[in-house]
Amino acid sequence: MDFYDVLFTLDLDGRFQTVAWGSEESKKLYHLLFESWVARRRRAASVFPIHAGQESGSFRWDEDTFYYRFLPGPGESTYLLLSREDHRAYLFARALDQVAEGVQIYDKNACAVYFNKVSRKISHIPSGVDPQGRHLLDLYNLDESVSTTMTALRTQSPVINRVDHFKASDDTSIATANTSYPILREGELLGAVVFEQTEEIVQRNIKRMEETQRALKSFASRGSQITFSGYTFENVIGHSQRLRDAVAIAQKVAPQNSSVLLVGETGTGKEIFAQSIHQASPRRGKKFLAINCAAIPETLIESLLFGTQKGSFTGSEDKAGYFEEASGGTLFLDELNSMSLAMQSKILRVIQENTFRRVGGNKDLKLDVRIISSCNEDPFRAIADNQFRRDLFYRLSTVMLELPPLREHLEDLEELVRYHLNATSYQYVHGITEVDPQVYAILRSYHWPGNVRELFHVLDYAQNVADSSTMRPEHLPSYLLKSRTAPAASADTAPAIDFSSATLQSLLDDYEHQIIVQALDHCGGNISRTAQTLGILRQSLQYRIRKYGIVL
């Protein structure tokens, strides 16, 4: 999602529903006012000079300039993003810093507007020196008549692959191959951009292109043969006793029509088991549909499950729900314990009566689905905490399967790593085929709150940053390395801090990251419950999850 300082959720009438904060400064300045607007359900257009039908723009308000943008929200709601700064120029500059060749931008008078990192390195420009605003001929000792950029500005035509030899301001002799394009708007010259390559850059590009070509050929030979038609028990990787016991029971009950309750933390493979049971059942020729009960807003989940009848509410249409679409097949209710008790009672009634009605409808429809559900925490504790109806639990738990968290079957870790790398390495230029033993030691020492799903995300991260076919410790996310090297603090002694490489903000960010991970683990990955436990808005928690790259 875009950078923002404030994020409002608006309903169909443009009224404030919720507010979330992207910056602490904006929260301190405006939280009392903005939250009062949410409580009073004010219309956004009544307090901000925003234009209906305009996706983005800016306005002056309370001595600040706000940039705004509308984006689709969940269901029929809309996001209104407010930013006190236009981040686009920063984004463009940082994006150009990732380009492997030098990039320079000049205005129509040949004065420097922007140099990316590679260009500054080519021209030996010290980090403390800003070339912006300086004329090209003041920066370089060269002949104006043969300058690639000056020629492009003078002729207003591209100059392709001209070799320049010049001296930088520190008298360093530089040879580059340059391509410059004039930048015009409605026929008026605004400036020029030049791309520069040294011999070293060209050699690196040749090597990278050859590696990419080999990877594409490998992908063409392997990737085109890969199809996915759903998980089966062959996709359950590992030979630990607890995992094999769970598979054995699942295979026994799969041919039956019994309801199955899968119990396990987030990321333990509950959907793999659910699909595998479906694929091994007489219903495998019909649909398998899954709904994440924790991710769907309460206002939408009923219509998604039961469908809607046209005219039952504004904007409604005749639409089948999941119960109807999955007729003859299997419906997987993932994280059912996250559903409200009121909605759970409606599910119970459908199961008991074996019929249901669309929202706003008056016709009974017969239920013909096998229900597999999951719970991401101890169901008996959820019942005791009044989060899971006891009668619904007994209806859905004819067979209850407990899936172990990764930390309880670490003997499967190496097999899981090999499986995922073999399945995905062909997608990367530097496909990883070997793993340094130190990597396995780090992986075994980690707690894995996100379980197998988190492990696969870590492996994908490593393949994205790897520069060879061997995975080494430096290819792992930094939080894994920190979790292994962090010194244990005694009750009265704080751990030593290396202030040469740590700022207050980075320390606070690390601490906040740890708190959120532990809170999510404590709440079984349930975002709403975690936000309530921490005393913050759900949107604020989701922002921090994205900020720290936390895997759920």
225 part of a folded domain: no
State which H helix or E strand residue 169 sits in: none
330 vs 251: CA distance, rounded Å = 16
Task: Select from 31, 67, 32 the least CA-distant residue to 49.
Answer: 67
What local confidence, expressed as pLDDT, does residue 52 receive?
61
248 part of a folded domain: yes
- Choosing from 55, 86, 117, the residue where a domain stops is 86
Domain that holds residue 27: 6-86
Residue 47 has pLDDT above 80, yes or no: yes
HSE at residue 533, side-chain half, CA atoms within 13 A, is 16
431 part of a folded domain: yes
Query: 185 and 227 in contact (C-beta within 8 Å)?
Result: no
HSE at residue 551, side-chain half, CA atoms within 13 A, is 21
- Choosing from 34, 69, 86, the residue where a domain stops is 86
| pLDDT single digits (tens) 86-122 | 666 777 888 898 898 999 999 999 999 999 999 998 9
CATH of the domain at 524: 1.10.8.60
457 part of a folded domain: yes
- Copy the structure tokens of residue 531: 């936000």
- Choosing from 201, 223, 245, the residue where a domain stops is 201
DSSP states along 304-318: HHHEE-TTSSTT---
pTM of the model: 0.56
Residue where the block lists tokens 């001296």: 167
Q: Sign (positive/negative) of CA torsion 499, 500, 502, 505? A: positive
What local confidence, expressed as pLDDT, does residue 542 receive?
80
Asked if residue 450 and residue 395 are part of one domain, the reply reads no
- Copy the structure tokens of residue 521: 């683990």
Range name among 173-177, 184-188, 384-388, 540-544 with the lowest pLDDT average? 540-544
Asked if residue 135 and residue 67 are part of one domain, the reply reads no
273 vs 253: CA distance, rounded Å = 12
- The share of the chain scoring above pLDDT 70, in percent, equals 89
Query: 275 and 320 in contact (C-beta within 8 Å)?
Result: no
DSSP annotation of 237 reads: -
Asked if residue 64 and residue 95 are part of one domain, the reply reads no
Could you tell me which residues are beta bridge partners of residue 375? Answer: 263
Residue 462, C-beta contacts closer than 8 angstroms, at least 6 positions apart: 432, 471, 475, 476
Asked if residue 390 and residue 241 are part of one domain, the reply reads yes
- Copy the structure tokens of residue 262: 């899968």
- Copy the structure tokens of residue 257: 């029509």
Query: 164 and 193 in contact (C-beta within 8 Å)?
Result: no
Query: 323 and 367 in contact (C-beta within 8 Å)?
Result: yes
Asked if residue 238 and residue 372 are part of one domain, the reply reads yes
- How many domains is the chain built from? 4
412 part of a folded domain: no
Asked if residue 362 and residue 427 are part of one domain, the reply reads no
Asked if residue 17 and residue 50 are part of one domain, the reply reads yes
| pLDDT single digits (tens) 305-355 | 998 887 655 556 788 899 999 999 999 999 998 888 999 999 999 999 999
- Copy the structure tokens of residue 237: 């990787």
Asked if residue 452 and residue 537 are part of one domain, the reply reads yes
Residue where the block lists tokens 């708007």: 185
Asked if residue 278 and residue 165 are part of one domain, the reply reads no
| pLDDT single digits (tens) 218-259 | 666 665 444 556 889 999 999 999 999 999 999 999 999 999
94 part of a folded domain: yes
HSE at residue 157, side-chain half, CA atoms within 13 A, is 3
CATH of the domain at 173: 3.30.450.20
Asked if residue 255 and residue 179 are part of one domain, the reply reads no
| pLDDT single digits (tens) 526-552 | 787 788 778 787 777 887 887 777 866
| pLDDT single digits (tens) 423-452 | 887 777 677 889 999 999 999 999 898 899
- Copy the structure tokens of residue 192: 């020029």
Range name among 30-39, 114-123, 206-215, 330-339 with the lowest pLDDT average? 206-215
Asked if residue 190 and residue 105 are part of one domain, the reply reads yes
24 part of a folded domain: yes
Task: Select from 327, 317, 336 the least CA-distant residue to 388.
Answer: 336
Query: 180 and 161 in contact (C-beta within 8 Å)?
Result: no
